[in-house]
C-alpha cells in the first residue's frame, strides 16, 4: 500500500512525511511544486530511502497527478499543498486563488477519476484528506466560544477566503459525487523546519542575528498554538478512523497573545543561548504597523476529535516551544540555507517600524 502526499516539502507536509516514515513501512509519494517555502533540505534524511519518492509538480496539473495516481495506486491522498501566508496573500492574492482554489479543484478532478475506476474493495477503502486552517472561521471576540466544526465560515483575508473555497469544493465533491473525503482545520502550527516568515521562527532568526523582533500592532492578537508533530498524529488518526465527509478541528488548547509568544522565545534564548554582553533578547522587540484586516483572535474547540477519535495533543506549549527553540539552535545550517535573497527582501518590505 502507498499514500500520496501533496505539499510534502512544506512545513507541515514535510513533518508529516518524516513522521509517517518514522512509524510506518508504507511508502509515500511526495508531490510538491517547490515554491519558495518548499524545501527539499528538510527531507534530506530520506535520501536513498526507497519508501520516499519525491516528484516535483503542481496539484493542478491533471496529467501529472493522474499519471502518479495510476502508476502508484495510492490508498489515500493527503493534501497539504497550499499557499499559506496571510501577509503574502494581501500583496499577491492571485497566487493563493490559483493554488488553493484552482489547484484544489484540479486535484479533486484527478482523484475523482482515479477513485471512480478502482475495484470495489479499493474504492471503499480509499480516502482523500484535505488539510485546512482555523482561519476560515474568521475572527473571535475575547469572550466568544472557540471555533467548532459547525461555526459559520467568515474568512477575512485572501488566504483564508481561498482556503474556505477549497474546503467548500471538497465538501461538494463528497455530497455530489460521493468522493470519500475528510477535512481537518488546524490552529497555528509551530515546530522544526518552519519557514522563517512565520512568527516563531522569525523571532528566533532575528533574535540570534541581533535584528529587531517585529510585532504587529499591540501584539495582543490571540492564537491557539499546535506543535506540528501533534498535528501529524491527529491527521494519522483522522485518516485511520475519521467518519467520511466529516470535519475535525485540530488544536493545541493553547490560546496565547502574540507578544507573550515573542517574550517566551526571548526568555528561552536568554537561557539557552545567552548574549555575550549579558543583555536580554526582549530589548530587540519592535512594534510595527499592524497588517490590514488583522484578525484579533482564533481559538479551536478540539473536543470533537478527542470525543470521536481519542486524540489529544501530547505537548504542552511549554514543552513544545522549548523543543522548537532547541531545534533551531541545533540546526543553524538549515536556517541559513532557507534565508535566500528573496526572503530577505520580503522581510525588509513587510515589517515597517511605527
- Selecting among 114, 137, 159, 173, the annotated active-site residue is 159
CB 152 within 8 A of CB 140: no
149 is annotated as an active-site residue: no
Q: Tell me the mean pLDDT in the region 119-140.
A: 97
Q: Is the pLDDT of residue 127 over 50?
A: yes
pLDDT digits (tens, 9 = 90+) for 222-270: 999 999 999 999 999 999 999 999 999 999 999 999 999 999 999 999 9
Distance (Å, rounded) from C-alpha 152 to C-alpha 168? Answer: 12
> In the predicted model, what is the mean pLDDT of the chain?
93
Grid cell listed for 68: 502518479
| Residue 352 confidence (pLDDT) above 90 | no
Please choose, from the candidates 309, 86, 60, the residue with its C-alpha nearest in 3D space to the C-alpha of residue 184.
309
Confidence tier at 349 by pLDDT (50, 70, 90): low
The per-residue pLDDT for 293 is 84
* Overall average pLDDT of the 39-56 stretch: 93
pLDDT at 350 over 60: no
In the set 135, 167, 230, 295, the catalytic residue is: 135
Is residue 343 annotated as a catalytic residue, yes or no? no
**H/E element holding 5?**
strand 3-6
Bridge partners, residue 31, by sequence: 6, 55
Residue 91 predicted with pLDDT over 90: no
**Cell triple for residue 207?**
533574535
Catalytic one of 58, 83, 87, 134: 134
Count of other CB atoms within 10 angstroms of residue 250:
27
Q: Any residues with CB less than 8 A from the CB of 182 and at least 6 apart, and which? A: 127, 128, 129, 130, 238, 239, 242, 244, 245, 246, 248
Q: Does the pLDDT at position 353 exceed 60?
A: no
Catalytic residue status for 159:
yes
- Residue 36: pLDDT band with limits 50, 70, 90: confident
Closest by Cα among 59, 76, 81 to 8: 81
pLDDT score recorded for residue 347: 44
The pLDDT value given to residue 22: 97
- Dump pLDDT digits (tens) for 206-232: 999 999 999 999 999 999 999 999 999
Whether the per-residue pLDDT at 124 is higher than 90: the answer is: yes
Q: Domains (ranges, CATH) in the chain?
A: 3-189+228-251+296-315 (3.40.50.720)
The whole-number pLDDT of residue 50 equals: 96
Model confidence band, residue 137 (pLDDT cutoffs 50, 70, 90): very high
Q: List the grid coordinates of 229.
A: 508533530
pLDDT band at 39 (very low <50, low <70, confident <90, very high): confident
Q: For residue 345, what pLDDT is reported?
A: 56
pLDDT band at 285 (very low <50, low <70, confident <90, very high): very high
Percent of the chain with pLDDT over 70: 96
Amino acid at each position: 500500500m502507498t499514500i500520496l502526499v501533496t505539499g510534502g516539502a512544506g512545513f507541515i507536509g514535510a513533518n508529516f512525511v518524516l513522521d509517517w516514515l518514522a512509524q510506518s513501512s508504507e511508502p509515500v509519494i511526495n508531490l510538491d511544486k517547490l515554491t519558495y517555502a518548499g524545501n527539499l533540505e528538510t527531507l534530506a534524511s530520506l535520501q536513498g530511502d526507497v519508501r520516499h519518492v519525491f516528484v516535483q509538480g503542481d496539484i493542478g496539473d491533471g496529467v501529472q497527478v493522474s499519471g502518479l495516481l495510476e502508476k502508484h495506486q495510492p490508498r489515500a491522498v493527503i493534501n497539504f499543498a497550499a499557499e499559506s501566508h496571510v501577509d503574502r496573500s494581501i500583496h499577491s492574492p492571485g497566487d493563493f486563488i490559483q493554488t488553493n482554489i484552482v489547484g484544489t479543484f484540479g486535484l479533486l478532478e484527478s482523484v475523482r477519476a482515479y477513485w471512480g475506476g478502482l475495484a470495489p474493495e479499493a474504492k471503499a477503502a480509499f480516502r482523500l484528506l484535505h488539510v485546512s486552517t482555523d482561519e476560515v472561521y474568521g475572527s473571535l471576540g475575547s469572550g466568544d466560544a472557540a471555533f467548532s466544526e459547525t461555526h459559520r465560515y467568515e474568512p477575512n483575508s485572501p488566504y483564508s477566503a481561498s482556503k474556505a473555497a477549497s474546503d467548500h469544493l471538497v465538501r461538494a465533491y463528497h455530497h455530489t459525487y460521493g468522493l470519500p473525503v475528510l477535512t481537518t482545520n488546524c490552529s497555528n502550527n509551530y515546530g522544526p523546519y518552519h519557514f522563517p516568515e512565520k512568527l516563531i521562527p522569525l523571532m528566533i532568526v532575528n533574535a540570534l542575528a541581533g535584528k529587531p523582533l517585529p510585532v504587529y500592532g499591540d501584539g495582543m492578537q490571540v492564537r491557539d498554538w499546535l506543535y506540528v508533530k501533534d498535528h501529524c498524529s491527529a491527521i494519522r488518526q483522522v485518516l485511520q478512523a475519521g467518519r467520511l465527509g466529516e470535519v475535525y478541528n485540530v488544536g493545541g488548547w493553547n490560546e496565547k497573545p502574540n507578544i507573550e509568544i515573542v517574550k517566551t522565545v526571548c526568555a528561552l534564548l536568554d537561557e539557552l543561548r545567552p548574549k555575550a554582553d549579558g543583555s536580554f533578547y526582549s530589548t530587540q522587540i519592535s512594534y510595527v504597523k499592524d497588517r490590514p484586516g488583522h484578525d484579533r483572535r482564533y481559538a479551536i474547540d478540539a473536543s470533537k476529535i478527542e470525543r470521536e477519535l481519542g486524540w489529544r495533543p501530547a505537548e504542552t506549549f511549554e514543552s513544545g516551544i522549548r523543543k522548537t527553540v532547541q531545534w533551531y539552535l541545533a540546526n543553524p545550517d538549515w536556517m541559513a540555507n532557507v534565508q535566500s535573497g528573496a526572503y530577505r527582501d520580503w522581510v525588509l518590505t513587510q515589517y515597517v517600524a511605527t
